[in-house]
């Protein structure tokens, strides 16, 4: 196993590729998924029109939420300029987006967000921070709230020369430890947990550089 990769270098990587509008093996420039769009389309009037997108990246989920009528707080550790450039003066929906440059773990959830999205970001946080963030989100949920999370578990990363890599401070969930954490935090919510295999290839070697089991969580607070 090589020395752990620093979280600072992971953060710098995203700031650079997003600033340059580049795509990556993980398909950063992809549009919001059909699964997410279907969820968005099914949300009714009992859900507050406020949303939080943690780790928004190139902004696909933030934009989908704003277009659907949500006022979106968009949080990422990268500067906000690429998102502001992308939305430009696209009209009313663009004015519903409020970007914030900050770490997800430092963002204080002190309001009732109707929808919270965290896609492909929470695995970079410590378990303690993931669970504190979600617990606080649940504690502030008042209406028929929805949380949509996609989180990598059981991750294996390899360098171009095939050595195992890990990132300092990452959550390191197994599917089982993640499931247990989610079931504890979302007690009393309707919970859908879906699992899929995920792999990314190194474009230089053609070999898998990232393999994981992706957990998709759709949590609905219908008891409100």
Ligand X SMILES: C[S@@+](CC[C@H](N)C(=O)[O-])C[C@H]1O[C@@H](n2cnc3c(N)ncnc32)[C@H](O)[C@@H]1O
Residues that bind ligand X (CB under 6 A): 14, 18, 26, 28, 55-58, 60-61, 76-78, 103-105, 119-121, 124-125
Which H or E run includes 73?
Answer: strand 71-76
Q: Which is nearer to ligand X, 151 or 220 (CB)?
A: 151
For the bound state, the minimum distance from the C-beta of residue 187 to ligand X, rounded and expressed in Å, comes to 26
Q: Which is nearer to ligand X, 113 or 124 (CB)?
A: 124
**Parallel, antiparallel, or unpaired: how do β-strands 71-76 and 164-165 relate?**
unpaired
For the bound state, the minimum distance from the C-beta of residue 144 to ligand X, rounded and expressed in Å, comes to 23
For the bound state, the minimum distance from the C-beta of residue 124 to ligand X, rounded and expressed in Å, comes to 4
Q: Which is nearer to ligand X, 34 or 45 (CB)?
A: 34
For the bound state, the minimum distance from the C-beta of residue 217 to ligand X, rounded and expressed in Å, comes to 14
Nearest alpha carbon to residue 57 among 107, 10, 89, 112? 10
For the bound state, the minimum distance from the C-beta of residue 45 to ligand X, rounded and expressed in Å, comes to 27
Q: Which is nearer to ligand X, 33 or 224 (CB)?
A: 33
Q: Which is nearer to ligand X, 62 or 145 (CB)?
A: 62
Burial of 127 (0-12, 13-18, 19+ CB in 10 A): middle
Nearest alpha carbon to residue 99 among 166, 52, 158? 52
Dihedral sign computed on CA atoms, order 205, 160, 216, 9: negative
Which H or E run includes 149?
Answer: strand 146-158
Q: Which is nearer to ligand X, 129 or 224 (CB)?
A: 129
Phi and psi at 79, nearest 5°, equal -60, 155
Cβ–Cβ under 8 Å, residues 46 and 143:
yes
Closest residue by beta carbon to ligand X: 57
Burial of 192 (0-12, 13-18, 19+ CB in 10 A): exposed
Point out which residues pair with 55 in neighbouring strands. Answer: none
For the bound state, the minimum distance from the C-beta of residue 66 to ligand X, rounded and expressed in Å, comes to 15
């Amino acid at each position: 196993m090589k020395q752990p990769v620093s979280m600072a270098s992971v953060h710098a990587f995203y700031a650079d590729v997003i600033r340059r509008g580049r795509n990556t093996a993980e398909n950063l420039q992809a549009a919001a998924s059909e699964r997410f769009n279907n969820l968005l389309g099914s949300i009714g009037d009992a859900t507050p029109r406020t949303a939080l997108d943690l780790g928004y990246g190139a902004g696909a989920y933030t934009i989908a939420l704003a277009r659907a009528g949500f006022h979106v707080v968009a949080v990422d550790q990268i500067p906000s300029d690429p998102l502001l450039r992308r939305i430009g003066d696209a009209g009313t929906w663009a004015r519903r987006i409020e970007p914030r440059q900050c770490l997800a773990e430092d963002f204080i959830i002190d309001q009732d967000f109707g929808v919270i999205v965290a896609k492909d970001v929470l695995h970079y946080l410590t378990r303690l921070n993931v669970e504190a963030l979600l617990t606080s989100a649940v504690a502030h949920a008042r209406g028929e709230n929805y949380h949509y999370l996609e989180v990598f578990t059981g991750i294996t990363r390899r360098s171009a020369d095939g050595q195992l890599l890990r990132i300092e401070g990452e959550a390191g969930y197994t599917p089982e430890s993640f499931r247990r954490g989610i079931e504890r935090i979302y007690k009393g919510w309707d919970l859908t947990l879906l699992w899929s295999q995920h792999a990314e290839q190194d474009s230089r070697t053609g070999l898998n550089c990232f393999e994981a089991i992706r957990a998709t969580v759709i949590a609905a607070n219908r008891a409100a």
